[in-house]
């Protein structure tokens, strides 16, 4: 019985702490795999929740999690249809849409709902303070979709694309996809005001 308990504890410790390295060299250390989706893995990190897409990961990681490109493509298409139609219920999942690479925000807007885009980095203290409030807001309100953009550092393509000079930066888009406001810093109350404005706007 003692041996069985020891083996279970060893296995749990292995599953609780894992390291991943993206093709571009970015590393995620001591993270927990929260769930596996057809197009990627969802991790719990110090700054919150991140999604690593299989196309960003080495082949051995893809094989470890049984990645299938055709199934992933169908899953992503289904997600886009649901986002466009608006998902009723308890709230929408939080999605990390970039790890330093350029991103077309228009492809990730949840049209029909309010979209909040959080620009952050794992090393940013104020980002870690703001992140739980944003994620709780999105999970509890089905009219809000949270998209997270990990700038990685100031020199990445996405930081240059959006001219990011300070983080956290939060952009709030209304149901029609128009930018309502930008909040610099961990000012959650101001984010909520923009969200309320976005809900009532066109």
Range of the domain at 124: 9-200
Mean pLDDT score, 162-191: 94
CA dihedral over 184, 132, 191, 107, signed as positive or negative: positive
pLDDT in tens, 8-46: 333 333 345 688 888 888 888 888 887 788 888 877 776
Question: Is 2 inside any structural domain?
Answer: no
User: 60-64, 74-78, 163-167: lowest mean pLDDT where?
Assistant: 74-78
Q: What is the pLDDT of residue 91?
A: 66
pTM above 0.75, yes or no: no
pLDDT exceeds cutoff 80 at 73? no
pLDDT in tens, 105-135: 888 988 889 999 999 999 999 999 999 999 9
Question: Is 192 inside any structural domain?
Answer: yes
The CB density around residue 28, as the number of other CB atoms within 10 Å, is: 18
- Whole-angstrom Cα distance, residue 197 to residue 142? 16
Question: Which residues are CB-neighbours of 98 under 8 A, at least 6 positions away?
Answer: 149, 150, 158
Question: Is 4 inside any structural domain?
Answer: no
pLDDT exceeds cutoff 80 at 101? yes
The CATH number covering residue 149 comes to 3.40.30.10
Number of domains in the chain: 1
Check residue 108 and report its DSSP letter.
G
The CB density around residue 6, as the number of other CB atoms within 10 Å, is: 10
Q: What is the pLDDT of residue 39?
A: 82
Q: What is the pLDDT of residue 182?
A: 96
pLDDT in tens, 138-169: 999 999 999 999 999 999 999 999 999 899 99
Question: Is 184 inside any structural domain?
Answer: yes
Q: What is the pLDDT of residue 7?
A: 36
Where residue 47 falls among pLDDT bands split at 50, 70, 90?
low
């Amino acid at each position: 019985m003692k041996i069985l308990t020891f083996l279970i504890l060893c296995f749990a410790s292995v599953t609780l702490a894992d390291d991943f390295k993206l093709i571009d060299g970015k590393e995620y250390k001591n993270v927990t795999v929260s769930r596996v989706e057809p197009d990627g893995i969802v991790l719990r990190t110090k700054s919150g929740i991140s999604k690593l897409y299989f196309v960003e990961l080495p082949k051995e990681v893809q094989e470890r999690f049984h990645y299938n490109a055709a199934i992933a493509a169908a899953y992503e298409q289904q997600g886009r249809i649901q986002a466009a139609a608006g998902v009723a219920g308890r709230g929408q999942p939080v999605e990390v849409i970039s790890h330093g690479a350029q991103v077309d925000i228009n492809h990730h807007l949840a049209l029909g709902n309010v979209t909040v885009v959080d620009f952050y980095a794992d090393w940013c203290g104020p980002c870690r303070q703001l992140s739980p409030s944003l994620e709780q807001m999105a999970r509890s309100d089905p009219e809000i979709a949270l998209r997270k953009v990990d700038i990685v550092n100031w020199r990445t393509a996405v930081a240059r694309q959006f001219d990011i000079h300070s983080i956290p930066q939060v952009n709030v888009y209304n149901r029609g996809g128009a930018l309502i406001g930008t909040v610099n810093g961990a000012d959650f109350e101001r984010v909520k005001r923009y969200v309320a404005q976005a809900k009532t706007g066109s």
